[in-house]
Amino acid sequence: MVKVWDPLVRASHWSLVVCVALTWASGEGGNAWHEVSGYLACAIISIRIIWGFVGPRYTHNARYARFAEFVQTPSVTFAYGLRVLAGNEPRYLGHNPLGGWMIVLLLTCIALTGFTGWLYTTDRFWGVEWVGELHEGLAIALLCLIATHIAGVVLASKRHGENLAAAMLHGRKREENERA
């Protein structure tokens, strides 16, 4: 086993799970927890995004915090997708190309949901229908992304015989040939 996910990557992932779940659970009736967990989620993604540019790079000890390491070009991602459909995709030690883009989508969606939520608290935009509806629509989109994310994690785990959720907990994965 080799270290793949550093503590900040892991902590931000799971604290986001809690925060996003909290925002959904507290979404109605002007519950104070809704804003708190929403702003907290925004703070966490801000830290993660900065870390994605300055965090540990791949070394022999294997850290995959940087976006540059797991966000691939559209053509590489598309080619990977075709291989997934064919059932012969390579196993990645870091995030695979589709997973990498899912992360970008999730971070963006959380940011936009949080931003529209904050907008709704301002005098200018409180009670304004399109802001409220946009916020709710983004929240639903986030839910769909999360469902897809979980499905992807399960699929990749099964395909490559590893527990990716557990890896995101303790940070280690089986060291093997990568990027076949």
- Mark residues 102-141: x for contact with other proteins by CB under 8 A, - for none: ------------------------xxxx--x---x--x--
Which lies closer to other proteins via its Cβ, residue 55 or residue 137?
137
Which lies closer to other proteins via its Cβ, residue 79 or residue 147?
147
Burial of 138 (0-12, 13-18, 19+ CB in 10 A): buried
Q: Show the beta-strand stretches assigned E in 69-142.
A: none
Q: How far is the CB of 135 from other proteins (least distance, A)?
A: 10
CA distances from 43 to 13, 18, 129, 141, 152 (A): 13, 14, 26, 20, 26
Instruction: Tell me: does residue 54 bind other proteins (CB under 8 A).
Output: no
Please say whether the beta carbons of 154 and 160 come within 8 A: no
Number of residues in contact with other proteins, rule: CB under 8 A? 25
Instruction: Work out whether the CA dihedral 108, 110, 112, 118 comes out positive or negative.
Output: negative
The binding site for other proteins (CB under 8 A) comprises 17, 21-22, 24-25, 27-31, 126-129, 132, 136, 139, 143, 146, 150, 153-154, 163, 165-166
